[in-house]
Chains A and B, each alone.
Chain A
Amino acid sequence: MSNHDIRLRRRMMTSRRIERHKNYSELMRKHKRSNSRRLLRIVSYLAFIVGMMVIIYYAFENL
């Protein structure tokens, strides 16, 4: 038993119609947003590590 269906398409998708879906500026925006989020995640992670080290340092200092 196959796990797919086959449809015969009468209408060809024209280049002009496909062109309408092109949006390079949106792709770049998405890429920049994603890079910013990635950077923010790294900075947050580093801040968390530094914070933990400071807490541990003072915890041992007070012992």
Chain B
Amino acid sequence: MDELFNLLPLKISNHMSEDAIKAEQEIVQAAKRNAKAFGKLYDKYFEGIFSFVYRRTDDEDIAADLTSQTFFKALQNIKKYEFRGLPFSAWLYRIASNEVNKHYRKTDTKALFSVEEGRVLEIMAESVENADEEQLQLLVKLLKELPTAMVEVLELRFFEGKSFKEIAYILEITESGAKMRTYRAIEALKKNFKIKQQENE
């Protein structure tokens, strides 16, 4: 099997402009002064955080609990939040990622990545004319064989559309470390697919 496989960034960009990030900071500052202002951030990011947690657990009830816990912790600790030039969501994803990891440690179960078939097909669509079941299963098999840390980075990069800087912040690693993990994962996939990667930052 040597299919051409385009690693495309998300069609809908999740990247925020610097002006939007600064405008969002005003809401964050307001939320630091008054918890009621947190509602705007809750409304804006609930769906994204829920989807992220759901992809990492594949259980709607657990995802609802962990998402609720993520926002609760964010609200409790918002005064400690420091702006690092990234969207506020990066901090929420960091809390959510820690909550998910804590959940797996507590339940002593294997971590899970439940990837949307639609998104996988979207990634493959440009190059694989008939992305069939066999190819999907091969991709799943390859992803299973990769180290968890690499899959985490791939998920944030290609399913959440995060920049390397955000990924580094979320996973508490360096930006070069995030890039390295991505490239190593792609190298591993290259053994079975021809990878054509579109870069965006």
Mark A residues whose CB is within 8 Å of B: 2-10, 12-13, 15, 17-19, 21-24, 26-28, 30-31, 34
* B177 CB–A CB distance under 8 Å: no
Known contacts A22-B46, A27-B42, A7 near B72 by CB under 8 Å = no
Q: Count of B residues near A, CB < 8 Å?
A: 41
Minimum C-beta distance from A15 to chain B (A)? 6
Q: Is the CB of B35 within 8 A of A4?
A: no
- B37-75 Cβ-contact flags toward A at 8 Å (1 or 0): 001001100110011001100101001100110011001
Q: How many inter-chain residue pairs (CB < 8 Å) link A and B?
A: 91
Interface of A, helix, strand, loop or mixed by DSSP: mixed
Residues of B within 8 A of A5 (CB): 110-113, 144
Interface pair B47/A15, CB less than 8 Å apart: yes
- Closest CB in chain B relative to A21 CB, distance in Å: 4
Evaluate whether A24 and B144 lie within 8 angstroms (CB atoms) in the complex, with A3-B111, A7-B58, A31-B72 already known.
no
B residues neighboring A (CB under 8 Å): 35-36, 39, 42-43, 46-47, 50-51, 54-55, 58, 60, 63-64, 67-68, 71-72, 75-76, 110-118, 120, 136-137, 140, 143-148, 151
A-B contact pairs, 21 of them (CB 8 A): A2-B151, A4-B110, A4-B151, A7-B112, A7-B115, A7-B140, A8-B114, A8-B136, A9-B55, A9-B114, A12-B118, A13-B60, A15-B47, A17-B60, A18-B46, A21-B67, A23-B68, A27-B71, A30-B72, A31-B35, A34-B76
